[in-house]
Amino acid sequence: MTETVNPAAVPRGWIARSLDLIERVGNKLPDPVVLFLLLMVAAWLVSWWLSGVSFTEIDPRTGQPLQVNNQLAGAALTNFMAKMVGTFTSFPPLGVVLVAMLGLGVAEHTGFISAVLRAAMSVTPRVLLTPALIAVGILSHVAVDAGYVLVIPLGAVIFYAAGRHPLAGIAAAFAGVSGGFSATLGVPSSLDPLLSGLSQTAAQLVDPAVVVNPLNNFVFTTVSSALIIAVGWVLTDLVIEPRLRTTRVDADPAGLPTQEPLAPNERRGLLWGGLAGALAVVALLLTLLPADTPWAAPPGEDGRRALLVSAAPLMQSIVPIIFVTFLIPGIVYGVASGSVKTHRDVVAGMAKSMSGMGYYIVMAFFCAQFIFAFGQSNLGALLAIKGANALREMAMPLGVTLAGIVLLSGLVNLLVGSASAKWALIGTIMVPMLMQLGVSPDLTQAAYRVGDSSTNIITPLMPYFPLIVVFCRRYVKDSGIGTLVALMLPYSVALLVTWTALLLAFWGLGIPLGVGSSYGYMPPGGAG
């Protein structure tokens, strides 16, 4: 889509003016790739400046006074160059995201994911249109950004066909796809291994032994889906849609998009693809049942072999399992529906998914180099320990600290569009700092996800925001940025408040955040 929004059509209220300011500030920020490069240079310069300073803080990794290492020294620079390739190829988020995307790419390329979403909406009763649309939006995260180009326009079509306002359908779908970006509807998304990989990298700046499970927030994000669906349902039906009654649909009916029903070949493919996916899951579950299953970890001190620990092959294989779980039904669907003629079509789907990851790979390269230089300098450990000491002296309740992380993440989200870039930036500081206060990376990451997801729907710097405006203009010609923000602001505020409350309830009640997760962290040496 190349259509642009007419600035004259944008309402000039306080919301629009505030967004204009945010957009101007955000646009002045360099690209995340350049931002990581500049941060790396800054880390070098600061490390040179502080390398001669003596600090009293104790490095938990060595038990010795912390020392900042000069990264502009000859030995440091040659070490940086020698390890550049290895630093990139061993960057945890890189491999896990690319492997997961290979399977998801096939499922998307063959049409399996699109067919699943359309089938789900076609059998939904009218009274349940809103919650079903939001749920489908959340589910679309397994295909990364497919929800933006598929579910959101589909929401408008479905609402319009049901005699409801199409912009309300766009708002509900947008709330599910983007507002619920960090939620999961029983199926892991590519965001899970990406964020956990970055969290692990940040945590290892302080404790190299820390391992973060890719499903460390899975329980919390799954329960979060119910919250997002409930909040979105209430707001759409009781607030947003009544407000739109005075907003006339003035587009040409002949040019409005329509919901295409599933063709016979798509139905056939969906049947066989779904069956194949179910059999693959059942086969996996059956291999977990035997007491001597090879998926379990080696026997512990009690002689038992656990499945849900980091040492278990099952936990180390989460991403490959996601790959296979989507690859099998994707291929079977393609063969049954006719979208896959030869093995070359399967390979083409994988290649297409990788071609869409080009920018991420470039960003990952510079992000990895920055984190390496930052870690080698000991600046991360210094900031973490000093920040933790400052927070400890302030003696704020942990609940207040967690709410602060949520708000900080939401504010950063207004200026930086990429989820991985944001967490790489602030996670490098926040994760080690809170570890010094006894807070686990799992809990810090969950707080970040709440703040990031809640404000996704109101920032014009989100890459798909202009596209959503274009979808609105298909039905209401004078829709602009202010129109969309006015629609989505109630969702953003409501999610920020209720979702933060849910996180605090999880923490207060001690409900596990996910697989292999914890709330607390014990620093080396036992200091809390």
- Residue range 16-58, pLDDT digits in tens: 566 456 546 655 667 667 878 888 999 899 999 998 888 877 7
The contacts of residue 297 (CB under 8 Å, 6+ apart) are 305, 306, 307, 309, 311, 312, 313
Residue with token string 């927030």: 217
In this prediction the pTM is 0.67
Angle made by CA atoms 140, 143, 145, in degrees to the nearest 5:
80
Which of 247-251, 255-259, 310-314, 346-350 has the highest average model confidence (pLDDT)? 346-350
Range in 204-213, 410-419, 471-480, 510-519 with the lowest mean pLDDT: 410-419
* pLDDT at residue 227 in the model: 96
User: Is 464 in a helix, a strand, or coil?
Assistant: coil
Q: Which of 260, 261, 269 is nearest to 338 (CA)?
A: 269
Beta carbons within 10 angstroms of residue 265's beta carbon:
14
Tell me the mean pLDDT in the region 247-265: 72
Residues 340-367, buried b or exposed e (16+ Cβ, 10 A)? beeeebbebbbeebeeebeebeebbbbb
* pLDDT at residue 6 in the model: 47
Report which of residues 86 and 429 the model is more confident about.
Answer: 86
| C-alpha to C-alpha distance for 369 and 361, rounded to whole angstroms | 13
User: Is 387 in a helix, a strand, or coil?
Assistant: helix
Beta carbons within 10 angstroms of residue 420's beta carbon:
20
User: What is the residue-averaged pLDDT of the chain?
Assistant: 81
| C-alpha to C-alpha distance for 204 and 383, rounded to whole angstroms | 14
User: Is 439 in a helix, a strand, or coil?
Assistant: strand
With contact defined as beta carbons under 8 Å apart, do 269 and 112 qualify? yes
* pLDDT at residue 15 in the model: 53
User: Is 58 in a helix, a strand, or coil?
Assistant: strand
Report CA 32 to chain centroid distance, whole Å: 16
With contact defined as beta carbons under 8 Å apart, do 302 and 234 qualify? no
Using N-to-C axis directions, what is the helix angle for 92-109 and 112-122, rounded to 10°? 60
| C-alpha to C-alpha distance for 306 and 291, rounded to whole angstroms | 10
DSSP H or E run through 506 = helix 481-509
| C-alpha to C-alpha distance for 307 and 298, rounded to whole angstroms | 10
Percent of the chain that is helix, strand, coil (3-state, to 5): 70, 0, 30
Q: Where are the beta strands (DSSP E) in 130-215?
A: none
DSSP H or E run through 244 = none
Tokens linked to 180: 């619920």
* pLDDT at residue 423 in the model: 81
First to last CA, the chain: 53
* Residue 513 scores a pLDDT above 90: yes
With contact defined as beta carbons under 8 Å apart, do 472 and 170 qualify? yes
With contact defined as beta carbons under 8 Å apart, do 142 and 189 qualify? yes
Range in 31-35, 90-94, 170-174, 412-416 with the lowest mean pLDDT: 412-416
- In tens, the pLDDT along 456-493 reads 888 765 667 767 887 888 888 888 777 788 888 889 99
Q: Which of 351, 384, 327 is nearest to 523 (CA)?
A: 384
Give the Å distances, CA to CA, from 525 to 38, 64, 173, 217. Answer: 35, 12, 49, 27
* pLDDT at residue 7 in the model: 45
What torsion, rounded to 10 degrees, do the Cα atoms 214, 220, 221, 222 define?
110
Q: Rg (Cα) of the chain, in Å, rounded?
A: 24
> How is residue 516 annotated by DSSP?
T
- In tens, the pLDDT along 373-408 reads 887 888 877 776 776 667 667 778 888 888 888 888
| C-alpha to C-alpha distance for 111 and 114, rounded to whole angstroms | 5
Residue with token string 């686990």: 440
